[in-house]
Amino acid sequence: MPLWRIRVKVEDRPGRLAGLTRVLAAAKENILGITAQIDSAGVIDEFLVTGPRDPGPLMDALRQAPSAETIAAVPASPAELVDEPTRVLLLASRLKASPQALPEVLRDLLRAEDAAWVDGAASADDLEQDGGGELLVRVGGARHIRLRRPAMPFTLTEAARADAMVRAVLPSAATPSRVHRLRLADGAGLTVRELDAADLSELQRLHDRCSPESRRSRYGGAVDALTPRMFEGFCDPGRGISLVARPEGASEAAAVGHLLYTDRPGTAELALLVRDDWQGRGLGTHLARLLLHIARDHGLAEIHTVTDAGNGPMLTLARRLGAQLTPLPGHATEARFSTTRDHHTARPQPN
């Protein structure tokens, strides 16, 4: 019986996946595999199913499901029924034995039609999937691999997978430092490190020195003080990653930034709080850029934040870092950052 790999873009709401599976069940199609991926426009549900020789009627039925939008279907082979983690581990083993086979491994990883080396620099926009079935994967400073798959455009999740596979074969870097240094345009230097349990009082003072407007922009509502329970969540590595920035030679924090894990696989929420006397100097942008680099190292495909539509500084930061902005109900705006793009400046250097 023919096998088909079918992708459906759906609204990220409870019950949408169940609606698609009901359509497939009504068509008496057997679901052999299912994954959820992140894309710049939302969530992509992918199904590996047994199906008819002509998938047209099935695709028409799926289009009638609530919130189902773009749908693509390509023929699959029995070889694709292999356990996916096992397949990736075998590709990684093959790459370790033959690093020169990187283009072919990336092609097989993402089931692309072809892969080829591309020399020369590429713009940040070129590093994103272009919606036409091409993906440019950075390999070092001036080389890339171009993957083509016209029938099924690449997702942000797949871009992150390709990036992780590339970094598996690049020369090993030193153990990442938990302390980083930032240098602002005005010459001010700051050290940045992960938040720990000893920072509670200092972070409470940071909140006290921020205006109500700054705290409202950070939390989306009135928050008078940082409670121990909130702080405990910031320090929990199971909930996310938090960084505190201190001016060189000072003991009081100037800013704090967070990556807060969400219930969507491969994503996290970005949040920043910058002391009022440090605002307008580029600290928020530098801290956000560092958090995006860390997100990439942790295998996250997309970072997002929701802010008031009138929060000019945050929207400016988002545009500067190449985020996609989407208006939301209630005078809000969502900014979505891809971790696989070049965020315009060199990576912050660790101590």
For residues 165 and 36, membership in a common domain is answered with no
Q: What is the CATH number of the domain that holds 283?
A: 3.40.630.30
**Exposed/middle/buried for residue 332 (C-beta within 10 Å: 0-12, 13-18, 19+):** middle
For residues 213 and 337, membership in a common domain is answered with yes
Q: What is the pLDDT of residues 281-325, one digit of tens each?
A: 999 999 999 999 998 888 788 899 999 999 999 999 999 999 999
Contact 314, 305 (CB under 8 A): yes
For residues 245 and 333, membership in a common domain is answered with yes
For residues 30 and 165, membership in a common domain is answered with no
For residues 328 and 201, membership in a common domain is answered with yes
Give the residue from 34, 51, 78 where a domain finishes. 78
Read off the pLDDT band of 146 (50, 70, 90): very high
Q: Assess if residue 174 is contained within a domain.
A: no
Q: Assess if residue 186 is contained within a domain.
A: yes
> DSSP string of 291-304?
HHHHHHHTT--EEE
Angle, alpha carbons 292-295-297 (nearest 5°): 115
Strand pairing category for 3-10 and 71-76: antiparallel
Range of the domain at 138: 84-169
Question: How many domains does the chain divide into?
Answer: 3
Q: Please tell me the pTM assigned to this model.
A: 0.67
Q: What is the pLDDT of residues 35-91, one digit of tens each?
A: 988 887 778 999 999 977 888 888 889 888 887 887 889 999 888 888 889 999 999
Which helix (H) or strand (E) is 7 found in, with range? strand 3-10
For residues 33 and 131, membership in a common domain is answered with no
Measured in whole angstroms, the distance separating CA 166 from the mean position of its chain's CA atoms is 17
For residues 274 and 210, membership in a common domain is answered with yes
Name the DSSP letter for residue 220: S
Q: What is the pLDDT of residues 81-134, one digit of tens each?
A: 888 899 999 999 998 888 788 899 999 999 999 999 886 555 444 544 445 689
- Percent composition of the chain: helix, strand, coil (DSSP 3-state, to 5): 35, 30, 35
